[in-house]
Structure 1
């Protein structure tokens, strides 16, 4: 049974009722895919978890006092902007204007006056008429810091993004796609099959390592690294049988590292010795019998 694509695992992780019996059956028998699916599910659950907000508290008056002093603000903003939330929340009238009470008092004083009160009454009536013009024609009065803080507090009562199903589902989908991409990248990375430490042979000092890796398409390659190139001619990489009676040439390494494709039918256990030789430019394809470094692959 083929392994499911990352998209299929993502859909199963996002939606518990997603119909895909073949993939679910595969997860029961494939530990690798089951581990990938479990990682995706953990990501979904982490995004769906709602943060604890019941313990949030309004800062005390000392917080604003410290900010005011640290920033060197003027006395005009000395009052704590959150005082209205702590002490008077729910009592602020958003439509109230400071001039309303003053106008009412002026009108009352005008009507209770003597012989010259008529003019004051008319002025108060005109002032009241101006305030009765439709709201869109009257410039807005300045809003106090307390009213602004109360308005912000009221707006925070609306459901947060994590309390609405649409946004968190989008966030969960994005998180799952990121995780699926990471899982896919890991699955595409070469998988090591065997490794060897390369030790220098007499008269040489270059050391290094070699490893056999398998790519996603099933092909294998030998990756070789040496600390330096000490060849008098050129370096050639070989795989050799344990009794040194058989050997396979993988190619020339013109620097201190190289990657060489392995023949499809070659068994690593039959050719476990990695050998880097110093070959003269003489046209002879055989091993020169002069090795720079050598090591044995271990799985």
Structure 2
């Protein structure tokens, strides 16, 4: 069987409406290509996460000790570099070094504020700065690189559920089908789903789902009526999102819209923990 090439999988992972009907049909029926696409989409998801608000933990001193021993570094650098500048008490040699030698004058800037040294290491806020435009380029490069690796090796080491970035501006469209999304047991999230057709013929799935405090991330799926076939479309990062439908997806064969709680465990398969579900009704 000839599988989809790496470049096409990368474009699909980035949410681009790429490929032919035959490609979409192959993707819906080929477990290997489907899992590879989900792995690439997961890579894009991780690459585009916004670190703002995520509290980073500083490593403990034992980490530097292990690094120091493994690399065989000098005893002069045995102290943890994150703490040695703030925790070492002053010594007599430090005091002596701070005093000018006899006959030497002190230097001071005239008519101006004291010079403030520029810190060599950025503070916590700098480390949490929001990513700029490089995020999209980085995500594309990561996805393409991962796809090339998959093509050469035949598999990916990490797999997971996708995460295209939903579009916030929706062009004029017509509704082909829609359904309410009803919460499943142990969940409270509800909403609606619409399949919309854009003027250029592209179809997209628009999702609105109220907040459900899940432990993982929310996967968006199209499924067969008996739920034996599931096609991953992406990750619902907010309470609403829009996802491009592959051109080969037949709504008559995949009428189920399913939102799942997917754990961060690298498994691209459906978690079997559905948050909400609905059956599309064409023509509504």
TM-score range, shorter chain: 0.3 to 0.5
Q: Which has the higher contact order (CA 8 A, sep 6+)?
A: 2
TM-score with structure 2 length normalisation?
Answer: 0.39
Structure ID, larger Rg: 1
